């Protein structure tokens, strides 16, 4: 009986091996070596886009800074609230931006943040070039609003840092600091005060002169940091790979990148056929990411609405703790995050909180040709202000050519209802008598909304205050 069983088992194994061999031969006949190579490049290029999204996002912002005359270890800033010439991903048009881009390849870099006063406060975050957060800035950050000297150390730095600094160990040589100098109102005087306070920020090498800080004003200038969904995506990715060290968690990407022609220390020179494959792959990756983004609103922040954060929890946590959990690496969610935004805070919900929505109350996409109303309930749970901004659904940047991108509670021209609530209208034309509460949209394009709360209070997270859905106005 035993021998009969063994004979049967051997027969099964031989049959399986023969079938496998025949299957392999059939597969080899179906795909030529050239086709197999093409498919490998395409497949690995799709994954490279998903993995490399935050890196390319960073390189695009840095290149836009360079195009405007800025350099690493300088501060690009906007002397007025941004308009649609600023094509970064989901920027806030109700603040003054200052973005120091740091480079520690020649040694540690100091970033000084001034203390808040009764009229001015700076909030923001330090991010490495992978856009993982190192620390938050401001009342909810490391300096608690009292200002501080932050010291950025390069990878592998061995010396003992001097005292008197908040020390941040960067895992990349480069990165940036997103800073917002918030104004009390949109008056020229308050905006000027916010700019002057922001320019108290200093960036210089350790041991250098704080007054050597260079500020580059990008106000009302083209600043395009949108993601290029063509073969140039891989040129930016190659630039990143050449500049930054390999992190242990990412070494699995070394061979896949080599397949598409990206290898540290070697030039990236794809031929015409490879470029065609890369073009197809990046378009496919874009479709995959866009679908994940749309599906990410399935679990809303407020029950019964469409307001939410389309980023998985493991990704949100990982961006703040360098993906410390060995069982999670939220690359897919990270791609969604950085195809529509830039930077991550160390602690989401401490200094700011965000809610996004591409749908109306009926679950249909927001159309720029139609008119909608959002009623913001009174007593919003905030220490500072709230704002709501309309972005182009496809690019996730400000809608090009619009006279006004947003509305905020720090705008004194905004009309409130008798109960303290605020109606905000979105559409191609302002409803009669509602011009001050209207945000224009492009009738030829879809749009999405981002609601920001600065200095959020516990009522937001306890959900005793609720932001309703967007209603279509007939």
Are residue 384 and residue 445 in the same domain, yes or no?
yes
Tokens describing residue 235 = 């040129």
- pLDDT tens, residue order, the chain (474 aa): 433 443 444 444 444 444 444 454 455 568 899 999 999 999 999 999 999 999 999 999 999 999 999 999 999 999 999 999 999 999 999 999 999 999 999 999 999 999 999 999 999 999 999 999 999 999 999 999 999 999 999 999 999 999 999 999 999 999 999 999 999 999 999 999 999 999 999 999 999 999 999 999 999 999 999 999 999 999 999 999 999 999 999 999 999 999 999 999 999 999 999 999 999 999 999 999 999 999 999 999 999 999 999 999 999 999 999 999 999 999 999 999 999 999 999 998 888 999 999 999 999 999 999 999 999 999 999 999 999 999 999 999 999 999 999 999 999 999 999 999 999 999 999 999 999 999 999 999 999 999 999 999 999 999 999 999 999 998
Tokens describing residue 101 = 């881009």
Tokens describing residue 233 = 């995506």
Are residue 46 and residue 78 in the same domain, yes or no?
no
331: domain CATH number is 2.60.120.600
| Beta carbons within 8 Å of 430's beta carbon, 6+ residues apart | 438, 440
Are residue 290 and residue 329 in the same domain, yes or no?
no
Tokens describing residue 280 = 């197809």
Kindly report, residue by residue over 394-416, the tens digit of the pLDDT. 999 999 999 999 999 999 999 99
Are residue 128 and residue 250 in the same domain, yes or no?
no
Are residue 148 and residue 26 in the same domain, yes or no?
no
Tokens describing residue 45 = 């290029």
Domain range enclosing 232: 34-68+227-295
Are residue 241 and residue 366 in the same domain, yes or no?
no
Q: What is the 3-state secondary structure (H, E, C) of the chain?
A: CHHHHHHHHHHHHHHHHHHHHHHHHHHHHHCCHHHHHHHHHHHHHHHHHHHHHHHHHHHHHHHHHHHCCCCCCEEEECCCCCCCCEECCCCCCCCEEEEEEEECCCCCEEEEECCCCCCCEEEEEEEECCCCEEEEECCCCCCCCCCEEEEEECCCCCCCCCCCCEEEECCCCEEEEEEEEECCCCCHHHHHHHHHHHCCCEEEECCCCHHHCCEEECCCCCEECCCCCCCHHHHHHHHHHHHCCCCHHHHHHHHHHHHCCCCCCCCCCCCHHHHHHHHHHHHHHHHHHHHHHHHCCCCCCCCCCCCECCCCHHHHHHHHHCCCCCCCCCHHHHHHHHHHCCCCCCCCCCCEEEEEECECCCCCEEECCCEEEEEECCCCCECCCEEEEEEECCCCCECCCCCCCEEECCCCCCCCCCCCCEEEEEECCCCCCCHHHEEECCCCCEEEEEEEEECECHHHHHCCCCCCCCEEEC
Are residue 204 and residue 288 in the same domain, yes or no?
no
Tokens describing residue 58 = 């960073």
Q: Based on the structure, what is the number of domains in the chain?
A: 4
Are residue 311 and residue 442 in the same domain, yes or no?
yes
Are residue 317 and residue 306 in the same domain, yes or no?
yes
Cα distances (Å, whole numbers) of residue 207 to 51, 245, 385: 37, 25, 38
Q: How far apart are CA 176 and CA 213, in angstroms?
A: 15
Are residue 84 and residue 178 in the same domain, yes or no?
yes
Among 275, 295, 315, identify where a domain stops: 295
Annotate 307-341 with b (16+ C-beta within 10 A) or e (fewer).
bbbbbbebbbebbbeebeeeeebbbbbbbbbbbbb
Within 13 Å, how many C-alpha atoms sit on residue 108's CB side? Answer: 21
What pairs with residue 98 in β-bridges? Answer: 77, 179
Are residue 337 and residue 360 in the same domain, yes or no?
yes
Are residue 87 and residue 63 in the same domain, yes or no?
no
The answer to whether 254 touches 241, Cβ cutoff 8 Å, is no
What pairs with residue 392 in β-bridges? Answer: 447
pTM of the model: 0.91
170: domain CATH number is 2.60.40.1610
Among 295, 320, 347, identify where a domain stops: 295
270: domain CATH number is 1.10.3360.10
Q: How far apart are CA 342 and CA 80, in angstroms?
A: 20
């Amino acid at each position: 009986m035993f021998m009969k069983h063994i004979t049967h088992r051997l027969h099964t194994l031989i049959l399986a091996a023969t079938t496998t061999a025949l299957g392999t031969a059939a597969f080899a006949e179906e795909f030529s070596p050239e086709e197999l190579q093409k498919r490998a490049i395409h497949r690995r290029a799709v994954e490279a886009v998903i993995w490399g999204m935050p890196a390319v996002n960073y390189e695009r912002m840095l290149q836009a800074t360079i195009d405007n005359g800025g350099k690493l270890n300088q501060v690009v800033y906007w002397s007025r609230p941004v308009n649609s010439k600023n094509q970064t991903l989901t920027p806030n048009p109700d603040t003054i931006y200052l973005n120091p881009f740091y480079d520690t390849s020649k040694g540690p870099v100091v970033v000084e943040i001034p203390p808040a006063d009764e009229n001015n406060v700076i909030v923001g975050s330090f991010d490495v070039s992978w856009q993982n957060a190192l620390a938050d800035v401001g009342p909810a950050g490391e300096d608690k609003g009292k200002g501080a000297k932050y010291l950025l150390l390069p990878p592998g730095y061995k010396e003992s840092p001097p005292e008197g600094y908040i020390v941040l160990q960067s895992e990349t040589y480069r990165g940036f600091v997103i800073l917002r100098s918030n104004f009390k109102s949109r008056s020229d005087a308050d905006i000027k005060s916010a700019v002057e306070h922001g320019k108290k920020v200093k960036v210089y090498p350790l041991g250098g002169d704080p007054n050597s800080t260079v500020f580059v004003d990008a106000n009302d200038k083209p600043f395009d940091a949108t993601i290029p969904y063509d073969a140039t995506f891989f040129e930016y990715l190659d630039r990143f790979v050449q500049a930054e060290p390999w992190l242990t968690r990412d070494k699995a990407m070394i061979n896949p990148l080599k397949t598409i022609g990206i290898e540290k220390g070697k030039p990236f020179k794809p031929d015409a056929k490879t470029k065609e494959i890369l073009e197809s792959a990046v378009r496919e990756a874009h479709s995959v990411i866009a679908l994940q983004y749309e599906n990410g609103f399935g679990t809303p922040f407020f029950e019964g609405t469409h307001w939410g954060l389309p980023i998985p929890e493991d990704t949100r946590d990982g961006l703040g703790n360098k993906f410390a959990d060995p069982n999670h690496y939220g690359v897919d969610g990270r791609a969604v995050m950085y195809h529509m935004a830039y930077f991550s805070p160390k602690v989401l919900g401490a200094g700011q909180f965000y809610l996004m929505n591409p749908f109306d109350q009926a679950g249909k996409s927001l159309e720029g040709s139609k008119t909608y109303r959002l009623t913001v309930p009174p007593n919003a749970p905030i220490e500072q202000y709230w704002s709501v901004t309309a972005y182009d659904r496809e690019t996730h940047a400000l809608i090009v050519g619009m006279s006004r991108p947003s509305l905020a509670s720090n705008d004194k021209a905004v009309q409130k209802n008798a109960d303290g609530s605020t109606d905000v209208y979105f559409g191609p034309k302002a409803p009669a008598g509602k011009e001050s509460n209207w945000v224009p949209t492009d009738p030829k394009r879809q749009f999405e909304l981002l609601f920001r709360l600065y200095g959020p209070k516990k009522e937001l997270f306890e959900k005793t205050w609720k932001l309703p859905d967007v209603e279509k106005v007939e």
